[in-house]
Amino acid sequence: MSSQTSGSNALWGSRFDGGPSDALAALSRSVHFDWRLASYDIAGTRAHIKTLQSAGYLTVAEHEKLDRSLVELNDRVAQGSFVAKPTDEDVHSALERGLIEIAGVELGGKVRAGRSRNDQIATLIRTYLLDQATVIGNLVTELVEILVTRAEENLGVAMPGRTHFQHAQPVALSHHLLAHAWPLVRDLDRLKDWRVRASLSPYGAGALAGNTLGLDPNIVARELGLAGPTQNSIDATASRDVVAEFAFIASLIGINLSRFSEEIIIWASAEFDYIKLHDSYSTGSSIMPQKKNPDIAELARGKSGRLIGDLTGLLATLKGLPLAYNRDLQEDKEPVFDMVDTLTVLLPAFNGMVATLEFNRDRLEQLAPAGFSLATDVAEWLVKKKVSFRDAHDITGRMVSYCEQHGLELHEVPDSDMAAIAPELTPDVRDVLTVGGSIKARAGAGGTALPRVLEQIAALRKIAPKHEG
Ligand code: ARG
């Protein structure tokens, strides 16, 4: 039952009579997924040996040799000439094996002093996610910029605005597009805010209680570009709220893409015919030669479900864990790795789709007043004539009902019939019965009128580039 699967490079084992069973080794192994942290682990080790040297556990010469060996190991990992073996338990043991191959067992064996895989992994997941947050943030920033550009290209185009998915009031297409940009800007803000909490180094926390060697945790933090060390060694090794918060933001980005996707899918249908997707960002059918499918939007909608699953799986893993480190925490990585992979493959395609889709402006304009969407304008016109809104609502409702019975639009009601509905309804009400007039009138803060849209464009142009880098 028992075999030496962990091999001579296991980071533990001397107090055991034999090696772990194959079944345990297989269950325990994480190297097939945590190998992606290799360069972060090496960076952490390079920082750690500085603290060892500064505390007197490595001579200057030893430190230099180890550092050169770690640079060499990093190169080998990058080139693929050093790879993890199936017998390596995790990225940490694989890299210790690699370091010993280069620096020798005597020197390589000194590196582990004063740290545990518990503080090590808690640090790596932070440095890794900080980098990924930059990549994802840049892609989201690009999408915001694309939306702003599309809004600018389509200034003055009206479309039906909806509530409950029914025609409600006409809005500017630009205003609608920008309504998809703002939530993404808030996601960027969330990432920025999350960085403050993520940019701390658990190194020095050891297994849970700190270390006895007098190592300066500020050195590691500084070397890794983090703001400083964490404050409590138990919390530092046991908590993953920083990982969960990243997962929440990533899933929210997915949800925001999914909401827009739902519209794109509907807009591309023959019945709506609001948009035409570019050939290079749509797909065909293997059996129906006429088909042009919005697969990117569908995949975005589908993958948002997967992202939510990653988040909820992670939260469930964290629930009920006693302090401090528990092996359950190894399960924190695959969900966020999957989220990173999902968003980094999805966003470039999504951005391309949004940048290249064509709006059927004539149709949007033509449908903007449909469904009596100017009824609110009539009611508010009456209010300006000192009719109470309650009465105005009632009068306009009767006008809509008249139109439905006679198959007319609001502006087509004859003068005499208008007067019969209510004496307050004089023919000059037709002045507000245009889409252009309706949009122009909604000039209050955050409204759909052109000046308010232009203000948003200017604001977004200033905000978006700040998040890059
Ligand atoms: N693979 C482990 C993880 O991801 C690394 C820490 C292992 N620590 C331990 N005490 N076994 O959490």
Looking at the CA of residue 325, tell me the nearest atom of ligand 1: 10
Which residue's CA is minimally distant from atom 4 of ligand 1? 330
pLDDT at 467 over 60: no
Catalytic sites, residue numbers: 164, 285
Cα–Cα distance measured from residue 214 to residue 120, given in angstroms and rounded to the nearest whole number = 17
- Average pLDDT, integer, range 406-435: 94
Q: Parallel, antiparallel, or unpaired for β 358-359 and 275-276?
A: antiparallel
pLDDT bucket at 282, cuts 50 / 70 / 90: very high
Q: Given this model, what pLDDT does residue 154 score?
A: 98
Helices 333-356/117-153 angle, 10° precision = 10
Kindly give the distance from the C-alpha atom of residue 446 to the centroid of ligand 1, in angstroms, as a whole number. 50
Q: Ligand 1 centroid vs 117 CA: distance in angstroms?
A: 6
Q: Whose CA is nearest to atom 2 of ligand 1?
A: 330
End-to-end CA, the chain: 52
Give how far Cα 209 sits from Cα of 122, 224, 321, Å: 14, 22, 17
Tens digit of each residue's pLDDT (9 = 90 or more) over 46-58? 999 999 999 999 9
Whose CA is closest to atom 11 on ligand 1? 327
Q: How far is the CA of 326 from the centre of ligand 1 (A)?
A: 8
pLDDT computed for residue 15 by the predictor:
81
Block residue for tokens 């190297």: 31
Atom of ligand 1 nearest to the CA of 30: 1
Q: DSSP code of 274?
A: -
Atom of ligand 1 nearest to the CA of 117: 6
Q: How far is the CA of 193 from the centre of ligand 1 (A)?
A: 28
User: In the prediction, which pLDDT does 188 show?
Assistant: 97
What does the pLDDT look like over 351-384, one tens digit per residue?
999 999 999 999 999 999 999 999 999 999 999 9
pLDDT reading at 444 higher than 90:
yes
Going by CA atoms, what residue is nearest to atom 7 of ligand 1? 117
**Cα radius of gyration rounded to whole Å, the chain:** 31
| Residue 111 three-state SS | coil
Contact between 167 and 160 (Cβ < 8 Å): yes
- Tokens 């919005």 found at: 294
In a 3-state reduction of DSSP, which class is residue 358? Answer: strand
Prediction pTM value: 0.94
Percent of the chain whose predicted confidence (pLDDT) is above 70: 97
Residue 5 CA to residue 143 CA, distance in Å, equals: 48
Three-state DSSP at 20 gives coil
pLDDT tens track for 284-306: 888 888 888 999 999 999 999 99
CA 316 / ligand 1 centre spacing (Å): 18
> Which is higher by pLDDT, 288 or 200?
200
Which residue is closest in CA terms to ligand 1's atom 1?
Answer: 330
Q: Which residues line ligand 1 (CB under 6 A)?
A: 30, 90, 117-118, 121, 325, 327, 329-330
Q: Which residues lie below 8 Å from residue 357, measured CB to CB, with a gap of 6+?
A: 264, 275, 276, 277, 278, 281
CA–CA dist 353, 133 (Å, integer): 22
